[in-house]
Structure 1
């Protein structure tokens, strides 16, 4: 087994500055570190227990299967905040059959992002007894 010390999701956007504006300002993710210079410099954001790195550039089409899952404390409050910042909301918050409250947004390159609230009584919040 590989001993993983840290991890991050790497995104190579079509327009790095537009993506930095989206993740840093529209979503309000805090910066962990920055590196390099120029328009294709790298920015690494805190992403809960991991990191999201926006660096370099890709030509469209980008990875269509990539999706992000961001857990928040209150998805309805997140919806109001993101809608006020003109973040494209693909689907407003709703409770799914599996008990999570989810809404879907997208980044400037069309990467789908699930913003999810785990209710206090949901089984995902509890560790099974061993």
Structure 2
């Protein structure tokens, strides 16, 4: 089995409000647009906003977004009127995280990976 690409698809209750949030507030770049939807670049994958949903966001789902500087990102979001659900803090697993929600309540986890975290270290044996 081979997977060539990935995309998270959201069906927001208010598509225009969600498009404005992801495009204007988070500043995601548009990958492509099509009738009824927009696909944004999302780091190593894509985020599609299309159609219209009717339900609440599941508390079991979250979007994980890695940022270079969590404090600067949190300050920029605050300047854009975003209220964080949880302020930046160091987690027991070594990552710095802050939480916010999109207009439908989907939790977004902003993550800064410190320089000394195992995610950044090469675990291969030296040659």
TM-score, structure 1 normalization: 0.92
Q: Which runs of 5+ in 1 are unaligned?
A: none
**Does 2:93 match 1:94?**
no
Secondary structure of 1:89 counterpart: coil
Equivalence for 1:11:
10
In the comparison of the two structures, how many residue pairs are matched? 125
Runs in 1 of length 4+ with deviation above 6 angstroms? none
Secondary structure of 1:99 counterpart: coil
1:111 Cα deviation after fit: 0.2
Q: Which runs of 5+ in 2 are unaligned?
A: none
**Does 2:45 match 1:46?**
no
Mean alpha-carbon deviation: is it higher for 74-83 or for 64-73? Answer: 64-73
- Measured on the aligned residues, the alpha-carbon RMSD in Å equals 1.0
C-alpha separation in 2, matches of 1:23 and 1:58: 16
**Does 2:66 match 1:67?**
no
C-alpha separation in 2, matches of 1:68 and 1:62: 12
Secondary structure of 2:75 counterpart: helix
